[in-house]
Amino acid sequence: MQNNKILNKFTIQESFAISAGAGSGKTYTLSRRYINAVLGFDFFVEDKDQSNFIEHKDKNRADLSQIITMTYTEAAALEMKERIFDLMEKVISFDTLSKSDGDYDSISKGMIKLNKDEKDDVKKCLEQALENSNNAFISTIHSFCLDTISANSD
């Protein structure tokens, strides 16, 4: 706890590591933190009453090439990529998203605090991220290290 408030596990305002067993929600949490980093504010929150820090979005936005997401297996890396970009598409098309969709509630908590211009900005930012998805560093630890060594082999 900080300042008598429970931190939002999706926040980009604090750094922390996630270590948990299979099926515990690591990919769920990381995909939301990833999108929060791209947007530059805490769009995804656990509780609709938590601060979202939107006033700082312009200075906090991260380009996809600035975010490194690593996993242990190739299957997990592919799953992470798929979940992140699928979630981006759901946020972009939230107006047509079914309420029975498993991501509806978490996206709704983010949308509820935004005015029309802010919602349009979120959609535009995520559309741009999807266009540049080939710049995303989502890979295994081994692949990332190999790429780094190859790029700096002198």
pLDDT per residue as tens digits for the range 38-80: 999 989 988 777 777 887 787 888 899 899 888 889 998 999 9
Per-residue confidence at 16, pLDDT binned at 50, 70, 90? low
Tell me what the mean pLDDT of segment 119-134 comes to: 95
**Pick the residue with more confidence: 128 or 71?**
128
Helix axes 74-92, 26-39, angle to 10 degrees: 50
State the pLDDT at residue 6: 60
Exposure string for 5-29, b = 16+ CB within 10 A, e = fewer: eeebbbbbeeeeeeeeeeeeebbbb
